[in-house]
Each structure stands twice: as structure tokens, then as C-alpha cells.
Structure 1
Amino acid sequence: MKKILVLTDFSATAAHAARYALQLAQQLHTGILLYHVVQSIPIVPNYAGGGFVTETENLFAEESRENLTKLKDQLTAGRQDGPAIDTRTGEGDPGSNIKALLRDEPIELIVMGAPEGSVVEHLLIGSETRAVIKASDRPVLVVPANEQFNSIQKLVLATDYRSEDLCALRYLSNWVANTGGKLDVVHIQTAGEEALLNAQQKKVFELFLDNLGQTNVHCHDLRGKEIRKA
């Protein structure tokens, strides 16, 4: 069974993202893997004895496993059935750990919580998010702190019609085909863009969509001075 990988640091926003992922797993018929990385402790000169670093790392790992079990219990409380939930603790560099997980586990999607501030700010300045995206070859869903889950029926793909975005288009079109939702492919054309080039690129997208045979996926061109506001 495919799984949603839920990254957690046991904060309130991470717990909210885990609850969101639980509802999403029910919609997508996947399992969940709750995952926390224990950061490695750098080795320092030995002034007071030999076992301090190892013992401290073991304590952190044990605390991580206990917190993962608590989070799993919170997600399953009062439920007779639902997605299967596994837990795992990693140690060391988050990027390397995520790459290993994606290699060994059937991960469909990665879910993580956003800290305070907008999701756009988190994507621009959030080092953890950048590290996860860099390490991943799977979609990454960043859940805002106040976002309430409703069955996802409408998705928007923001694109400049690059050929690289066809991968995202294929993934999202499969998503809406399986859930009965709708996908809008949206391009914001700013004043300085070459309209002819975009028209040619858009034609490639439209031909791709024609070959998919989807009636619930549509392309839209909008004009705007600022892409973020539009």
C-alpha cells in the first residue's frame, strides 16, 4: 500500500498537518508514515568522560519514539477503522534520511506543517522546506497552520508552461481522475513576457491534456502585474 510520509517535529503546526494528512489518506486510500529525525550531536573534545554523546543521542531517540506513539494514539483515538499508521525515527541529516525512506518505502506524498506566516513566506525562507524539496522526488504538501481539511476537489497548478511542469500536470490530472475533482492549470502573464512563446508552450500543454482525455482539467491565461497577488 502506498503511504503519505508525514514529517513532524511535534509542534502544534506539525500535529495539525498530521491530522490533515489523516483525512487526505482516507480520501486517497493510502497509509501514513509518521517520521521524526533526531539531529546528530556534533562530537566535542572529551573533557568529562566517554559516553555522554552516545547516551544523549539514545535519550533523544527514545523520546522521539515515545512522542511518535503519542501522536499516533491521538490520530487513532475514537476510530474504529481508518488508514494504517506506522511510525519511525531517523538519526542524522534530514535530507539523507528522506532520500533513504523514498528509496525503501512506497511514498505517494510528503506532508509537513508550515510555521507562522504565509505558506509563500515559508517556501521562500523556510530552510526545512527547501531541504525536504531538494531531497525529494515526490510531491511535497505544506499545510498552513489554520487550514481546515475538506475533501480536496479542486486543484490549481500554477505554471509558466515549462516542459518540466508536465510531470506535475500528469500527477495532478491522475489525482483528480481518481477523486472526481477538478484541475485548473493557471498561467499569470506579466507585462514583460513574450506572449508568442507562452502561446507555443501552452499548445504543448493542451495537446498533452487532449491525449489524457480528461474533461475536468482546464487551462487559463490571466494577466497581472504581480504573480503572487494574481
Structure 2
Amino acid sequence: MRKINKKSILVLTDFSGYAKNAAESAMSLADKMKMDIILCNIYPVPAVRSSAEILFPTGYEDIAKQQSIDSLKIEKIRLQSILKRDTDISRIPGLTIIDEDHTFSTIANLIKKEKNITMVTIGTRHHQGNEFLFGGGINTIVNKSNCPVLLISEKVLTDAIKTIIFATDLAIEDIKQLKLLTEKADLFKSHIHVCHISPPTPIVIDFNEEYHLSEFIQEMGKLTFKKISFKNIQGKNIIQDLIEFEEETHADLLVLIHKKHSFLWKLFHESKIKRLVTNQKSPLLILPG
């Protein structure tokens, strides 16, 4: 693959309706943030269970690759027509396609290596298995990526991002990502609701938790971005409370930080959280931890 010379948003597509929503969301962001767009299709590659049993018919790989290239070209034309219709002609983002063979694993390695890929967008389907974040493929991207991953389902993310929910467990290192988020929020003139997600209050007061809360709010106060507020979501019905808060604030974007061993990230592997993710109409942005 040729070197990527400009800051770009990588769109992983399977040409479904959700994937098209993701591509259109990427266009809105690229236009606002002055980035280019790269389209890539990941499709199953031939695998062998044993020396005698092949899962794909002979010639599948060549046919699949050609279909992928043809579909990428059609999608590129569709997106270019939208860009020309809706974007100032003087600053239309560049749009290229990756037509080499790629698996989720090779793309994840590319994202990690290529510094000019600044975001990945993926269309998520509600029926892609039981694994968190709709299957191992997206998990591979999230686990290996050193840039934000944006998951889009029903709702296209436009440049009118008015309300953002930033979920945190009060880890002080989250302030760094919050600061970076405020820079983007300032560009979109958004309001950020910082939501502290925590388990039910223990019988014995946790003074350590109170200290972290005080420290986090103090660091928040040092941010120059002022369209920001704080909310505590605590108890046994965290997921339902978060869903209700999303609806109450008409949130355009939910933001999480990927930290495997945090309470918040573990929560997103429990069965209850799948209800939030599978019913997630608003886009979900996962920041690297």
C-alpha cells in the first residue's frame, strides 16, 4: 500500500446501510477537520480447517477481490457526489480506496503503524453475534488501535455535534483524553457532559473514591474549554440511567476510553451493557487508553 501523506479518516465498509452511514459520518468529520478519507473493504479470506477440507470454493478469492474493488469504486462515486453537493468545492476532502487484500488483523496493524490515520469509522450491525462490540473483528481494531474508533449504526454523525457524553471512572489519566476531546468539541461548538460511572455506594464510605472525585473535578477546572458539566451516575441501574441521560440530553455522541482492566470497560463486557450497545442509535467513539 502506498504511503498515506495526509491526515486521514479510515472507513471500513461492507457496503451495508450501516457502513454507508459510517462513510457519510466520516465525510462530515473530514470536511470539518480538514482531513482526507480512505475507503477499505474487509471480506472473508479462504481458510483451511484441515488439509482436506476447504471452507471456500476454488476461485473465491479472485472473485471476492474483484467484487470488492468494483463495490469500492461505486461507493467512492456515491460519496464524491455527496461531497460535491454538500461541501465547499475549494475544500473537498480527498477520497481514495485501498484495494489490496486485508483482514481485520492486517488493517489493525496498518492503523497502529500509519501515523496519518487519525480515526477509524465502522458501521455496526445489531445482529453480528453476541461478542461485545459486535464481534471479534471490531474488537481487534479497538484493541490494537492507537487512534479513536467511531462506531456508527442508525444515526449518521453530522457536523452538528451539539452534545457529547464522556463516560469516565475518574482515572486521572482520562483528563488527557478529555482535553483532546475538548479541542474537537470547540471546533464543533459542542457541550460535553462528563459522566462519572461507578458501582453502588458501599456501606463504608470510600474516602479514596472521594479523593479521586475531588482531584478529577479540580483538573477539569483547569481546562480552558468551558462548555462542560459533570454528572454522577451510580448504582445498580447504571445502564438504564445512562440511556435515560442520553435521551434527556439528546446526545449526539457517546465517548468511552478503552482500558481493559477498568471498572467501566469491564462493565461494557457484561450482558446488561449489550442492551446499551445494541440499542445505540447515537454514534459511539472509543478513545485509546
Q: Supply the RMSD in Å over aligned alpha carbons.
A: 2.9
SS in structure 1 of the partner of residue 96 of structure 2 = strand
Give the TM-score taking structure 1 as reference length: 0.82
Shift of 1:131: 1.9
Partner of residue 217 from structure 2, selected from 206, 216, 224: 206
Residue identity (%):
21
Runs (5+) with no aligned partner, structure 2 = 1-5, 242-289
Is 1:103 the counterpart of 2:113? The answer is yes
Could you tell me how far apart the structure 2 residues matched to 1:133 and 1:25 are? 20
SS in structure 2 of the partner of residue 34 of structure 1 = strand
Shift of 1:68: 0.8
Shift of 1:100: 1.4
Shift of 1:129: 2.4
Runs (5+) with no aligned partner, structure 1 = none
**Aligned runs of 1:26-41 on 2, under 5 Å?**
26-41=31-46
Could you tell me how far apart the structure 2 residues matched to 1:223 and 1:97 are? 37
Shift of 1:195: 4.8
Provide the aligned length of Structure 1 versus Structure 2: 223
Shift of 1:113: 1.0
Partner of residue 145 from structure 2, selected from 136, 145, 162: 136
**Aligned runs of 1:1-230 on 2, under 5 Å?**
1-43=6-48, 45=51, 55-77=59-81, 79=84, 81=89, 82-116=92-126, 123-147=132-156, 149=158, 151-193=160-202, 195-230=206-241
Give the TM-score taking structure 2 as reference length: 0.67
Taking a change above 3 Å as real, the CA distance of residues 31 and 148 of structure 1, as seen in their structure-2 partners, is closer
CA-to-partner distance for each residue in 1:13-41, whole Å, 9 max, x for gaps?
11121112212222222211111124331
SS in structure 1 of the partner of residue 239 of structure 2 = coil
CA contact (8 A) 1:36 1:90 kept: no
Which AA in structure 1 matches 2:142? I
CA contact (8 A) 1:157 1:183 kept: yes
SS in structure 2 of the partner of residue 225 of structure 1 = coil
CA contact (8 A) 2:24 2:156 kept: no
Could you tell me how far apart the structure 1 residues matched to 2:166 and 2:157 are? 20
